[in-house]
Amino acid sequence: MPFCESPNNIVRWQARKQLATMIFGNDTGSIALFVYATSTFWYQSYDDRIIATIVHFEVSMTIQAITIDFWNTLYDSSGGEGREMERGRVVLEQAHRLGVGLTHDMLKAAQQQAWKHFNRVWREEQRTPQTRTMVEFFWQALGVRADAQAVEAVTTVFCEGVLAHPPKLLPKVKEVLSELTSTHRIGHIALISDTAFSPGRVLKQLMERDGVAEYFSAFSFSDETGVSKPHPHAYTIALAGVDVPLERCVHIGDIERTDIVGAKALGMKAILFAGDPNGQMNAEHQDKPTQADCRADSWEEVLEALRQMG
């Protein structure tokens, strides 16, 4: 049956062509073959389900750039006990070298003070202190006048502890990233992380070791940018050079007051991730209203949410 240039058929032809372009990219021969084959084969049976499938496919492609948080979104927070033990061991060694006796209770109290200082700066100044700064504060909280060797030794173990005692990728992260870049052709995926004791350069090493760094086009680490979420600069650095309207960008993160508030203030879409059952910040937004466009309890739900976003 010859193709009739009615408005409906033209729309269907354009939809088939767009779907073929999404699948085959710039392979014009494959596109032409796909459009011809489907126009003859599907002409008689072009029902609502086929149209819905194409529309659904098209909608899923309206998101063109994605930014993702690191802790409790990409990775869980496991390994923390090992990191703390290793850091404590080195602190005790250096204190002993300096002729100072410390107890584990003293270490615990100093650590609590250090985290309290970190959280104040993070929340009130929208930045995160450098690792060395936190180590110097830690020594001061212990009441120990540390020399350069002690500061350097402890800074190194605080920075690199995440490699010796790493967190785990959350379930299905790698599979979803692969699908987003290959099947859905998301052109830009970036990481936005508020770093603490583990600096961005070390977190990136961990991502490279786990085979996920390759999916990311850009990295915005607060120890490198000088700002933390929800500061707009944290997001604009991650999206630098990407010619995409902000309403076609989505941020995925686990903290309402940083990840979600910052993204929505810029006009981005946002997914509140609650897929890490051990996430320390879950209590802040559990059973509370969110500015996010949706909430996801797993990376499978993230993928479905991205498909549905228009």
User: Which CATH number does the domain housing residue 186 bear?
Assistant: 3.40.50.1000
Residues 66 and 173 in one domain: yes
Grade residue 30 by pLDDT with cuts at 50, 70 and 90. low
Task: Measure CA of the first residue to CA of the last residue in the chain; give whole Å.
Answer: 35
Judge whether residue 38 has pLDDT over 50.
yes
Identify the domain boundary among 147, 164, 181. Answer: 164
Identify the domain boundary among 113, 145, 164. Answer: 164
Residues 124 and 268 in one domain: no
Over pLDDT 70: what percentage of the chain? 78
> Which of 13-27, 69-83, 219-233, 249-263 bottoms out in mean pLDDT, i.e. has the lowest?
13-27
What pLDDT was estimated at residue 32? 57
**Omega before residue 230 within 30° of 0, cis:** yes
Identify the domain boundary among 117, 143, 164. Answer: 164
Residues 228 and 179 in one domain: yes
What pLDDT was estimated at residue 268? 97
The answer to the question of residue 2 being in a domain is: no
Residues 84 and 23 in one domain: no
Number of domains in the chain: 3
Residues 173 and 285 in one domain: yes
Strand 188-193: give its sheet, edge to edge.
218-221, 188-193, 65-68, 249-253, 269-273, 294-296
Who has greater pLDDT, 273 or 44?
A: 273
* 220, 253 Cβ separation under 8 angstroms: no
Q: What is the rounded average pLDDT of the residues 251-262?
A: 97
Q: How far is CA 243 from the centre of its chain?
A: 20
Q: What is the pTM of this model?
A: 0.79
| Owning domain of residue 70 | 62-77+168-308
Residues 207 and 300 in one domain: yes
Residues 134 and 189 in one domain: no
The answer to the question of residue 158 being in a domain is: yes
Using CA atoms, how far residue 125 sits from 111, 171, 305, in Å, is: 21, 33, 32
Judge whether residue 60 has pLDDT over 80.
no
Residues 69 and 210 in one domain: yes
Grade residue 46 by pLDDT with cuts at 50, 70 and 90. very low
Residue pLDDT, tens place only, 215-227: 999 999 999 999 9
